[in-house]
Each structure stands twice: as structure tokens, then as C-alpha cells.
Amino acid sequence: MRLEDATHEYTELTKKLVKGIDNLSQLREEDIEIGATPREVVYQDGKVILYHFKSPVEKTLKTPVLIVYALVNRPFMVDLQEDRSLVANLLKLGLDIYLIDWGYPSRSDRWLTLDDYLNGYIDDCVDFIRKTHQLDKINLLGICQGGTFSLCYSSLHPDKVKNLVVMVAPIDFHQTETLLNMRGGCTLGPEAIDVDLMVEALGNIPGDFLNLEFLMLKPQQLGIQKYMDFPDIVDSEDKLLNFLRMEKWIFDSPDQAGEAYRQFMKDFYQGNKLIKGEVVIGDRTVNLANVTMPVLNLYAEKDHLVPPSSSLALGKYVGSKDYTVQSFPVGHIGMYVSGKVQRDLPPVIANWLKERA
């Protein structure tokens, strides 16, 4: 590089950093708040809260939609900010949206099981919405692990689910091409990770442990490169806020209730029991053939956490005769925040539901 080029590059970088320092110095905590759409608490059981979002338009779909998110990370990725919000875009299309917030499990939640989450919390929220709207059935939108939960719930309570939408949901957990599944035990089984020892030793599984595990799946991109790229965006207030909101969401990881974590890892990852029809929730066995309501399966083509093959497996096992698959050319997180997907995804969901109203 010539000296004058190096000098120019250094000068430009210095300008960016000076502007960036000015941007950072003016930021307040409320500027990076996550969850932009107005909402109200309509039901609460302990740490679990059911939110109802306020719609800016007249609702055109009579049956409300309950969003069930994963236990890992906070659910407000679906409402990250005003211009990146699946919730806001669905509301604008006339849907009535509810969302379960699982809260932050503490030591007193150590013994919560998947039975508590599915037949307890989810079922109570579904019943609340059914009673509020005087409906026999509502629509479910399950995302990631919440999609797996929604499938299990729909199998156990098909009389309460009108339509089921699952998004980037793992179904077949024995996927040898992805590090997360390998780490969970799809190749080595129980030898991959001693889940019993973890739960006995730790009680609840720390959110920071899971966060580190996810970051180590792409250590260069998620642990180094994005921070090396930071000087390139720090002079833009909008890009800086986008970056900080994502960082806040990524590192806001709740602990996992020990017993629920134990069953999910052993039955779903290590045993791959969902597609075998061997998962038992409470005293009942989950059979995907019982999922007979219309199903819309949405997946991300470049998903490194839930590979397309894992989501697509649902088509082999689901009992519904009205089964639709739609993909989007992004990764796992891109399904929530990609501008192009946020333009295209909400209409797919809304139109599919309205055709089955």
C-alpha cells in the first residue's frame, strides 16, 4: 500500500471513530430497548407472562395467533425494533397477536419439567385466549424450540389448535452436518455430553454456558469478525443501534430449568424420540400423526442451528393432509431481522392463515 493511501485510510478511520464516540456518548439505555410494539400483560403465572399486542389496524382474522418462542434467549427477537418486527408486520396485516414470555427461571424453578411448560403454561395461555375470544381453537405460531413445543402441544391437544405454523423448528435431531446437533449427541448419543451430571451439578443450566456454546459454533464470525467490523458501522447511528440491540438480545440469555433441559437434551437431541413417537410429556406420548390440523412449515435455507433437513423431516411424520412448506434464503437469525424476509414472510403467514380462517 502506498503511503498516501495508508494516510487516507487512517484519516477516514479516525473520522469514523470520532463520529462513533460522539454517537456512543449520546446513547441512553432506553435507546437500545428491545420490544418496540405496544403490548399489555393479560395473564401471568409466576414468571411466565402472556402479552397481547395492540393492533394499529382493524383485525381481519377472527382467530388470534399465540406465538410460542424457545426457552433459550428472550422472545423479543420477534419484535426487535420498529422496522425489524415480525409482530408489528403481522399486526399490520390484520392478525391478533399474543406472545408467551417465559421469564428468567431461578433456583426455585429447578424442577420444572416439559410437562409443566407444555401441559401447564402453554395450555393455560391457550385456554385463556380461547375463553377471552369464546373460541374452541386458536392459531399457534411456534418458533425454533418453541416450534417443537408447539408440535408436541398440538399432538396432545389437537382439539384446541385450529392452524399450526412452525418456523425454523427442529424435528429430526440426528443431523450429522451441524455442530449443534453433534454437540447435543446425535452421533455419539449420551457419550457426547453427560446431561445428568450437568443437571445434578448445576441445577439450572446457566444461560451464559448456552450462549458460549452457540458462539463457539461460529467462533470467527460471532466472536471476532463482527467486532473487527465494528469501526465500519460505528459512525452510523442507525447501524450502531441495530448492532447494540442485537448484542443485547444475544447476551440476554435466561438460565434453563434443570429438569426441562435434561429431558429436551436426552429425548430430543440424544434419543431423537420426537420422530420415533417416543417422547412422553406428562403421562401421554407425543405422536406427530395426531397433528391433523393445517400446518405451515417455514425454514431458513442457510440455518446453521436448525438445518433445513431437520425442519423438512416434519413432512414425513405429520398427520395433516393440509401441509405447506416455504423456505427463505437466510440463516436462523435472518428469519427475524432480515429486511427482505420481513417484507416477504409476514404476508406468507397472514395469507395462509386467512385462507384457513
Catalytic center residues: 144
Cβ atoms of 78 and 336 within 8 Å: the answer is yes
Q: What residues contact residue 238 under an 8 Å CB cut-off, 6+ apart?
A: none
Cβ atoms of 100 and 122 within 8 Å: the answer is yes
What's CA 171's distance to the chain center, in Å?
14
- Give long-range contacts, CB 8 A cutoff, 24+ apart: 41-47: 42/98, 42/128, 42/132, 43/124, 43/125, 43/128, 45/120, 45/121, 45/124, 46/103, 47/102, 47/103, 47/104, 47/105, 47/106, 47/109
Whole-angstrom Cα distance, residue 125 to residue 107? 24
Q: What residues contact residue 188 under an 8 Å CB cut-off, 6+ apart?
A: 182
C-alpha pair distances (Å), 313 with each of 23, 136, 274, 299, 302: 47, 29, 11, 11, 16
Cα-Cα-Cα-Cα dihedral sign, residues 274, 276, 282, 284: positive
